[in-house]
Every structure is written in structure tokens, then in C-alpha cells.
A and B are shown apart, each in its own frame.
Chain A
Amino acid sequence: MTWKHVCGVDDIEPDTVKKFDVDGINIVLINLGDEFRALPPMCPHMEEDLAESGVCTGGMLTCTKHLWQWDLRTGTRQDPAEKDVLMYDVRCEDGKVMVSISEELKYEFEEEDDDDFEF
């Protein structure tokens, strides 16, 4: 497990979705107010850039493109979202937000041979 320093805990306002490049891997970091979540940068539905389309309020992330939603505190998806979001482990220490990135998390549609059309 590789913990990477992404930013300071005060660098992102609460309820804000912000994109970071962490050693060549793009993530979005979301400040829930008292916790942080780190996700791949796109919506698992139609690959919208969550730094643009993502809205977070009360721990709920909404992609404004088609109103898919996830409760980021529990990780559960809300109707009508059909896919879960992937999340990296996050911890805060000494005022720093650290994200565990050993390899890039990808949604199925990014894989060459196993995507959401294959069933």
C-alpha cells in the first residue's frame, strides 16, 4: 500500500470536488466536511468529468449530467444510479490528506475486454 500526499486538509473547501494528478494518476478528492473521499475522476455512468459535473452536499455526491447519486459516507448508490463508485483509502495526518494509490482504479468501461457492454 502506497500512501501519497495529495494536499493539505485546508486546501479544499467542504462540499467541494477537486481534481488532482497524483504521480500521473488522476483522482477527484471530495471534502465531506469531516472526512475526505478519493475517487477516479469520472462518473461511472457516461465518463463525465466529476470535477465539472460532480456536486457534493451532505455527504451525497451527484453527477449533474443524469442525476446519478452516491452516499459517500457509506459508499452506497442511490436510485437511479446503477453502478457503485470506486474509492481509494484516505487518511489525514499532520494536516495532510494522504491517499492510498498502489494502482489506478478503473471502471469496467475503461477495460479493453470487459466493459459494460459485455454480458
Chain B
Amino acid sequence: MNVTLRTKKRAYEFPCEKGERILYAALQAGVPAPYECASGTCGTCRARVKTGEIDELWEQAPGKSSIKPERAEFLMCQCTASSDIEILVPGNLAETTADSNPTAITGQLSNGERLTHDVMRFHVALDSTVAFAAGQFFVFQVDELDGYRAYSMTNYETSVSNLDFVVKKKLGGGFSERLFNGDLDGEKLTGFGPLGEATLRDDDQSDLLCMAGGSGIAGIMSILEAATSTNYFERNDCRGNVIFGVRTMDDIFFANELNAYVRSNSNRLSITIALSDQPVSSDSEGSIDFASGFVHDVASKLIATNEIADPQSSIAFIAGPPPMVDASIRLLLTEAKVPAGRIRYDKFN
């Protein structure tokens, strides 16, 4: 099938295989179609069918609350073309600056270690190598019926065939429950990526302010790995601050890895773990500090006491559940005076 995607300014044409999601077909062809989650939750990839037929793959996609189906609007990440189609996309599309386009991948999933009672690692051995930017994510599906899930890589190398992830167990979350039960260990999967623009870029030179809630730390780990392996902080004579929010001491994971990043970046990286549901018993352990409160509360205190200096000149990365991301964006705009153009975020629904 052929897709013609029109914006006010221009038209793009690209092929779409049977069963292929229109968003993925567009991105694979280098068309800078708008998206955020690429997995049906955010509604950013809305478009309208002008001519032709589409098939919807997930009727209950939460992102549909942003569209008007009665006016032929649809989510490009949740629909395939069943004929040649012409679709309309609102707004102007930013031309892509990526070196390569995301692509469909296949691989094999394996379980990793259990990190807390409800967080575990998993790994995907790809059948080919990929390059991605620190902070990006892939979408995966094990069964076609299951749909795609988005996960940020925790590792970083310029070219890899092994991707590392963390997953939080969710009640009624079919994929995470099956992972925790060991049912998916060794399973073949298909995926698409790399995706996402909340990345550390080659021309970045500023302080980094990273705010993560729960498993949102995944992409931040990749950014810390990239920054450490490229000597980012010393090379640019700048600093990094990470605030990682979990509920209680028992919910902390990656403590060893975070300690190692602090030691490797002598005096240039500070990491604070924010406990939302438990008072802290000691202010620090190893090279990591502890504080009580939500991530944005702790960030506010660190900014007020100048422990995070010049936040307005930092590049801010935020990843976590939507309420945490929203509260953090609000804090960065108002108290920290970080320009919106320096805020990069992922919301995981």
C-alpha cells in the first residue's frame, strides 16, 4: 500500500506493508511524523483519513481520548493501511536530523535479575546490530494480539546487539506479569526503534539535570553511561545532578551502578534518591545522597540551597509517570527558570 501524508506545507509518500503501523512505516521512510509514546497512550500521532481505508489495531488505546473518530481522526501508531491512503497531519513537521531512520527489528528476550519486589531487568538479544542515542526507547511485542510496549534502554554503546531494560510489575499488566512469571524468557519478539528525542546529543555541552521516577530511571542510566564513557562532564567542564524518586528504601535499585557513576565522574556528578513514602534515616550512603519527598520537592530544595547551581543553564531530562513529569516540568519552568527548549522528557503511561 502507498501512503500520502499531507501537512499544510508539503506531502510525503511512503510504502506501508500489510499489517504495518502507519507511524512506523512513516518513520522508517524518514518521514518526520509526530509522535511521543509510539504505543497508543499519548495521542500525539493523530491524523485524519482523507481517502482510503485503515484498520484499527487497538480500539481501547488511551490516546484515543485526544482524537475525534467521528471525523475520521485516528492514531497513526495504532492503525494500518488496508488500501492506498491519503492522510492529513496537523501542524508543521520538524525535519529529521537523525543519522539513520528507526527500523523493524527481531530478537530474543531473556529475563534478568530481580532488582526489587516489583522491578526486574530484561534483555533483548537482537538478530542484528543497532545504533541509538542515549535516552531512546524501543517498542516491542511478543504476540501480535498484545500490541507494542515502549521501554527505554538502560545501556549505551555506539553499536549494540544487546539491549538492556528494566520493567516494573503492574497489576493487570499482561506483559510485565508474564515477564515476572518467567513466561517470556527465551521468547522471540519483534520491535521497532530506536525512538524518542529525550536524548543526550553530540553537541550538548551544558550541565545535566536529570529527574526520574521509578523505572523512568532507565533512559537516565543510558545517558549517564554515555556521559561517563565519553567523559562528558570533564570535557565540557560542567556538572550533572540526578534526582531519582522511589517510594521507600526497599524500592531502590541501581544503587551500585549509580555509586559507580558518581565515583567515575569525580566531583562532577551528584545523585540524590528521593523517598516519597518513607523518612530518610541517613543523609547519604556511599556516594549517593538521600532526601524525603517527591522528586520535584527534592529538586526544589536542592535548587533553593544552591546545591543545584544555575539550573537555568542546564539541559533537563525528565522521565517517569505522567504526574511526576508534569510536576517536574512545572518546577523547572517556574522555580528553576529552565527555558522550555532545554527540557527533554518521556512520559510513561
Chain A residues at the B interface, C-beta cutoff of 8 Å: 15, 45-47, 53, 55, 57-58, 62, 64, 66-67, 69, 78-80, 82, 116-117, 119
Q: List 15 A-B contacts (CB under 8 A).
A: A45-B91, A46-B46, A53-B326, A55-B330, A55-B334, A57-B337, A58-B337, A64-B329, A64-B333, A66-B44, A67-B343, A78-B340, A79-B341, A82-B92, A119-B88
Q: How far is the CA of A45 from the CA of B88 in the complex (A)?
A: 15
Q: Is the CB of A67 within 8 A of B88?
A: no
Among A15, A58, A116, A117, residue most surrounded by chain B Cβ atoms (within 10 Å) = A117
Chain B hits for A62, CB < 8 A: 333, 340
Q: Are A117 and B90 in contact (CB under 8 A)?
A: yes
**B117 close to chain A: CB less than 8 A:** no
Given A62-B340, A64-B329, also A57-B334 (CB < 8 A): yes
Q: Give the docked Cα–Cα distance between A79 and B90 (Å).
A: 16
B329 & A67 in contact (Cβ 8 Å cutoff): yes
The reply to whether A116 and B343 contact each other, CB–CB distance below 8 Å, is no
- Min distance, Cβ A55 to any Cβ of chain B, angstroms: 5
A69 x B66 contact (CB < 8 A): no
Main secondary structure of the interface of A (DSSP, over half): loop
The 8 closest A-B pairs by CB, nearest first: A116-B90, A67-B340, A117-B48, A119-B8, A64-B329, A117-B88, A57-B334, A82-B91
Contacts of B88 in A (CB 8 A): 117, 119
**Contact of B98 with A by CB under 8 A:** no
Closest Cβ of chain A to B160, distance in Å, is 30
B48 to chain A, nearest CB (A): 5
Knowing that A46-B46, A82-B91 touch, tell me 20 more A-B residue pairs with CB under 8 angstroms: A45-B91, A46-B43, A46-B44, A47-B66, A53-B326, A55-B330, A55-B334, A57-B337, A58-B337, A64-B326, A64-B333, A66-B44, A67-B329, A67-B340, A69-B340, A116-B90, A117-B48, A117-B88, A117-B90, A119-B8
- The 0/1 profile, CB within 8 Å of A marked 1, for residues 27-47 of chain B is 000000000000000011010
Taken together as a complex, chains A and B put the C-alpha atoms of A69 and B337 apart, in Å, by 14
For B72, give the chain A residue with the smallest CB separation: A117
A64 touches which of B44, B91, B330, B341 (Cβ 8 Å):
B330
Contact call A57/B333, Cβ cutoff below 8 A:
yes
A70 to B15, CA, bound (A): 38
Chain B 307-342, CB within 8 Å of chain A: the 1/0 string?
000000000000000000010011001100100110
Q: What is the bound-complex CA distance between A89 and B7, given in angstroms?
A: 33
The DSSP consensus for interface residues of chain B is mixed
With the chains together, A64 CA to B329 CA distance in Å?
A: 7
Once the chains bind, are B334 and A15 in contact (CB under 8 Å)? yes
Q: Does B171 contact A (CB under 8 A)?
A: no
How far is A77 from B44 in the complex, measured between Cα atoms in Å? 20
The verdict on B94 contacting chain A, using a C-beta distance below 8 Å, is yes
Q: With the chains together, A57 CA to B48 CA distance in Å?
A: 35
Report the minimal beta-carbon distance from A111 to chain B, rounded to whole angstroms: 12
Q: Which residues of A contact B6 (CB under 8 A)?
A: 119
A57 to B333, CA, bound (A): 7
Could you say which residues of chain A place their CB within 8 Å of the CB of B326?
53, 64
Most interface-central of A64, A69, A80 (chain B CB within 10 A):
A64
Nearest chain B CB to A66's CB is how many angstroms away? 7
8 A Cβ contacts from B44-95 to A: 44, 46, 48, 66, 71, 73, 88, 90-92, 94
Query: Which residues of B1-27 are within 8 A (CB) of A?
Result: 6-8
A57-B334, A69-B340 given as contacts; is B8 within 8 A of A80 (CB)? no
The CA-CA distance from A11 to B46 in the complex, in Å, is 38
CA A78 – CA B340 in complex, angstroms? 10
Residues in B with CB closer than 8 Å to A64 are 326, 329-330, 333
